């Protein structure tokens, strides 16, 4: 465990330290496109954050190669080199897209080629567990098709969910943490060395996301872009392929002795790998499927961008930017860790009860966009400003609660009560009008170094054509 933690920390440190210089490089090369209709941020922000994440991946693999307990991963299999080759290819495609806006079909072809490179070097699905039949071996073409499909779906699912500050990196980090616990249990508890590569990949993936998150949390100073979202999607898919299709679950010896009921409960961890790669991307995958159905229904291309994603809808119903991200974090953690916990203690009813209880809490939070907790006066200096009680001069109207009709970054949402005044006060000219705030200078987050702050164009409602 210490070696994995060391690898994680080195990966996170390299990613964190390189993100600042990469941000300056992105500004210098004008890799910060104008605001689009579907964007949530209000000023041009540099991309290319995937550059720092890729070098963090390389640093993590390099450190692991020189650790005695992890060196066997590189000696006994070629999976690490296969992952690095596919990651390098998809990273190059992402960098070009961040700078020059590559066509969606070209990116799809590049994703399939990157998956093919991984298959050619041995990172492929060899067998899958099937209920009632045990482990079923796959032919070469079956394994190749299944591997390419899993890689492409995971990459695009992560790419689709990358719409709010810190959302994609946080959700993938949560998924990687759940996958790490499951893979480490298979490797350490059962002594199956074939699970070591997946354990290493998820540890490195957590380091990449944790190192990038401080720069990407709202308000983000840099975006990972397609160079980062496709990269972490490929690494996540590589870990799932390594664990699902490379580890022979018959080696767990779970079918020996006992009653039929005991054998059924003991066999559950064999079939969890069939569900785990899907549960860890359940939220992004649902967003991907809904986006394809919605765009096809409206007569648009499945690759056409819009503002109908799940995170956009959270903003439209009144949630703030940070709260929408935390809600997505909550559901991702509940699904991923719930499945992992149930695979460990499948006979325990309390795990199911906890998951059901937390689901109820999540639904309550989802339906309460206008609720904003307020800290007591003695704790005012220890909490973020949005949770403090505001003081206004005598004779001015009090400010409404944050989130009442405001979208991300305080922008008013179309059709909401707060649209009358961008500052959340009463309409201009009415009695009790709040004093006008001083203008915010350009470059408040350092993202407008090339010019004045840009204003987002008019945004249509989610799911509408146009």
Residue 274 and residue 83: Cα distance in Å, rounded? Answer: 21
- What per-residue confidence (pLDDT) applies to 151? 92
Q: Coil, strand, or helix at residue 102?
A: coil
**Four-CA torsion 155, 159, 160, 165, nearest 10 degrees:** 150
Peptide bond into 219 cis (omega under 30): yes
> Does the pLDDT of residue 152 top 80, yes or no?
yes
Q: Coil, strand, or helix at residue 17?
A: helix
Band the pLDDT of 307: cuts 50, 70, 90.
low
Contact 255, 267 (CB under 8 A): yes
User: Which residues share a beta bridge with 137?
Assistant: 127
Of 56-65, 84-93, 296-305, the range with the lowest mean pLDDT is 296-305
Closest CA to 87 of 207, 201, 246, 247: 201
> Does the pLDDT of residue 444 top 80, yes or no?
no
> Does the pLDDT of residue 460 top 50, yes or no?
no
Contact 444, 288 (CB under 8 A): no
DSSP secondary structure, 50-107, as one string: HHHHHHHHHHHHHHHHTSTTTHHHHHH-SHHHHHHHHHHHHHHHHHHHHHH---HHHH
Closest CA to 155 of 212, 220, 216, 240: 240
Residue 283 and residue 90: Cα distance in Å, rounded? Answer: 23
Residue 174 and residue 169: Cα distance in Å, rounded? Answer: 9
Contact 154, 237 (CB under 8 A): yes
Give first-to-last CA distance, the chain, whole Å. 52
Pairing of strands 127-130, 134-137: antiparallel
**Per-residue pLDDT tens digits for 243-262:** 877 776 666 655 555 555 55
**Four-CA torsion 368, 372, 376, 382, nearest 10 degrees:** 120
Higher-confidence residue of 410 and 315: namely 315
- What per-residue confidence (pLDDT) applies to 352? 73
Closest CA to 217 of 329, 92, 134, 298: 329
Higher-confidence residue of 105 and 371: namely 105
- Entry field: residues in the chain: 466
Closest CA to 159 of 221, 229, 218: 229
> Does the pLDDT of residue 442 top 50, yes or no?
no
Of 26-40, 265-279, 405-419, the range with the lowest mean pLDDT is 405-419
* Exposure string for 326-343, b = 16+ CB within 10 A, e = fewer: ebbbbbbbbbbbbbbbbb
What pTM does this model have?
Answer: 0.72
> Does the pLDDT of residue 404 top 80, yes or no?
no
- What per-residue confidence (pLDDT) applies to 457? 45
Residue 174 and residue 206: Cα distance in Å, rounded? Answer: 8
For helices 321-344 and 282-297, the axis angle rounded to 10 degrees is: 120
**Per-residue pLDDT tens digits for 381-392:** 766 666 566 665
Residue 342's alpha-carbon distances to 205, 334, 354, 371, 418, in angstroms, are 23, 12, 11, 33, 44
Residue 333 and residue 172: Cα distance in Å, rounded? Answer: 10
447 CB neighbour count, 10 Å cutoff: 25
DSSP secondary structure, 171-233, as one string: HHHHHHHHHHHHHHHHHHHS--GGGHHHHHHHHHHHHHHHHHHHHHSSSPS---HHHHHHHHH
Residue 151 and residue 234: Cα distance in Å, rounded? Answer: 6
- What per-residue confidence (pLDDT) applies to 147? 92
């Amino acid at each position: 465990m210490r070696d994995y933690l060391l690898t994680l920390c080195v990966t996170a440190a390299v990613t964190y330290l390189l993100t600042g210089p990469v941000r300056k490089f992105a500004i210098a090369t004008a890799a910060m496109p104008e605001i689009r209709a579907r964007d949530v941020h209000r000023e041009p922000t540099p991309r290319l954050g995937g550059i720092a994440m890729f070098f963090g991946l390389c640093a993590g693999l390099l450190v692991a190669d020189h650790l005695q307990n992890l060196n066997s991963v590189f000696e006994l299999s070629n999976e690490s080199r296969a992952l690095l080759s596919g990651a390098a290819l998809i990273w190059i495609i992402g960098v070009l897209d961040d700078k020059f806006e590559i066509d969606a079909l070209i990116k799809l072809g590049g994703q399939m080629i990157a998956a093919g490179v991984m298959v050619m070097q041995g990172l492929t699905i060899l067998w899958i567990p099937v209920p009632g039949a045990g482990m079923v071996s796959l032919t070469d073409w079956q394994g190749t098709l299944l591997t390419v499909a899993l890689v492409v779906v995971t990459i695009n699912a992560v790419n689709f969910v990358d719409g709010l500050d810190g959302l994609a990196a946080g959700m993938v980090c949560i998924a990687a943490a759940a996958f790490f616990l499951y893979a480490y249990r298979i490797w350490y508890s059962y002594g199956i060395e074939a699970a070591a590569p997946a354990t290493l990949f998820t540890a490195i993936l957590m380091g990449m996301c944790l190192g990038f998150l401080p720069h990407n949390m709202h308000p983000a100073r840099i975006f990972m872009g397609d160079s980062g979202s496709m990269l972490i999607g490929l690494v996540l898919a590589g870990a799932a392929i390594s664990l699902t299709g490379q580890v022979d679950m018959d080696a767990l010896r779970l079918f020996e002795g006992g009653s039929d009921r005991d054998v059924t409960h003991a066999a559950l961890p064999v079939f969890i790998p069939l569900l785990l790669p899907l549960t860890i991307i359940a939220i992004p995958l649902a967003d991907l499927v809904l986006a394809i159905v919605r765009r096809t229904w409206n007569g648009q291309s499945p690759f056409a961008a819009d503002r109908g994603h799940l995170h956009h809808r959270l903003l439209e119903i009144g949630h703030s930017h940070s709260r929408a991200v935390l809600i997505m974090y909550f559901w991702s953690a509940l699904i991923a860790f719930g499945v992992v916990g149930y695979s460990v203690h499948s006979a325990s009813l309390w795990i199911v009860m906890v998951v059901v209880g937390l689901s109820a809490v999540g639904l309550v939070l989802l339906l309460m966009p206008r609720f904003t907790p307020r800290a007591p006066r003695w704790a005012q200096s220890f909490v973020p400003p949005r949770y403090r009680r505001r003081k206004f001069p005598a004779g001015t109207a009090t400010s409404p609660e944050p989130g009442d009709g405001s979208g991300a970054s305080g922008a008013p949402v179309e059709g909401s009560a707060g649209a009358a005044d961008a500052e959340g006060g009463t309409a201009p000219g009415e009695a009790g009008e709040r004093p006008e705030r001083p203008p915010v200078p350009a470059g408040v987050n350092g993202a407008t170094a090339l010019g004045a702050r840009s204003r987002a164009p008019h945004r249509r409602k989610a799911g509408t054509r146009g």
